Amino acid sequence: MPDTASLTAPVAAAAESRGWQAELALGYEFAGGRTALLRRRHYGPLRVQKPFYPEGDAVCHTLIVHPPGGIAGGDRLEIGLDAGPGSQVLVTTPGAAKWYKANRRMAGQTVKLSIAQDAIVEWLPQESIVFDGAMVRLATIIELAAGARYLGWDIMVLGRRASGERYTSGSLRQQVSLWSAGVETFCETAELNGNDRLLESPVGLAGHHVTGTLLATGKVCPDDLLESCRAIAPMDGARHAVTRLPGALAARYLGSSPQAARAYFTSVWRELRPWFTGREACLPRIWST
């Protein structure tokens, strides 16, 4: 099993007691053809709305809400999700997460998804906007049992270009790790500092400020589906790629439009979902509001 303490320690240490400390723990069980949210515990400003069932009882759609609307220096968010055997869960958010200027204090978020045998979790949050001067530490840990599946994405926006803001100060450290039956199968860490040469370098972000990764794991993507995903292109012509890794499939976006990044990943998700879950794509209603 992963050493969860070592993975989350940088995030836990990042937040100071003066900020918001928020925790959300969700537990899902599948019985009688229905996935039910049976355990729900929260502390501080993290909530879920009532479960939604736009696809019928088997798939539980859940909306995570952070009432303050933004994360300031010193804040720490902890989200834990436990999907029981055979359950199917889709999680999203009502809008972008905003990481505010830090005022020399770290903010952090840890997401831990535990997916039991034959369960499926789709983690589809809207983008995270990192303001100039923000100091952010993010960790996402996905633990899969035998036969479990995960499909999720993250989209990062550095600075608010529409407001004339660039990412010239602050820091962002992001880590994503996949574990299957107690063995780490994928781990990726990115560290970006304001005004770092990597932001402009052709081997880095090449002047772009929106990045994103979609990961699907738990099934081996067939060749024809891989090629279908590779044929999808972002509407803004941004750099993109789809790669079949050992134990996972990864789609990447590097460009300058969070809207285009979302649309691109949604198109790849639409293509993957029937094979991955046995169901056609069903867009969360909140995406249309």
- For residue range 15-43, what is the model confidence (pLDDT) as tens digits? 444 678 999 999 999 999 999 999 999 99
Query: How far are the Cα atoms of 133, 199, 269, 271, 272 from residue 281, in angstroms, in the given order?
Result: 38, 34, 8, 8, 9
144: Cβ contacts below 8 Å, ≥ 6 apart = 115, 150, 178, 179, 180, 181, 217, 218
Q: What's CA 130's distance to the chain center, in Å? A: 15
Q: Which helix (H) or strand (E) holds 205?
A: none
What digits encode the pLDDT tens for the residues 39-79?
999 999 999 988 999 999 999 999 999 988 899 999 999 99
DSSP 247-265: TEEEEEEEES-HHHHHHHH
Domains of the chain: which residue ranges? Answer: 4-288
Instruction: Please name which of 130, 147, 128, 118 lies closest in space to residue 73, comparing C-alpha atoms.
Output: 130
Q: Residue 104 — pLDDT band, cuts 50, 70, 90?
A: confident
| SS3 call for 5 | helix
Token pair in block for residue 166 = 């660039």
Note the pLDDT tens digit of each residue in 209-252.
Answer: 999 999 999 999 999 999 999 999 999 999 999 999 988 999 99
pLDDT attached to residue 8: 44
Give the torsion sign (CA, 107, 66, 70, 125). Answer: positive
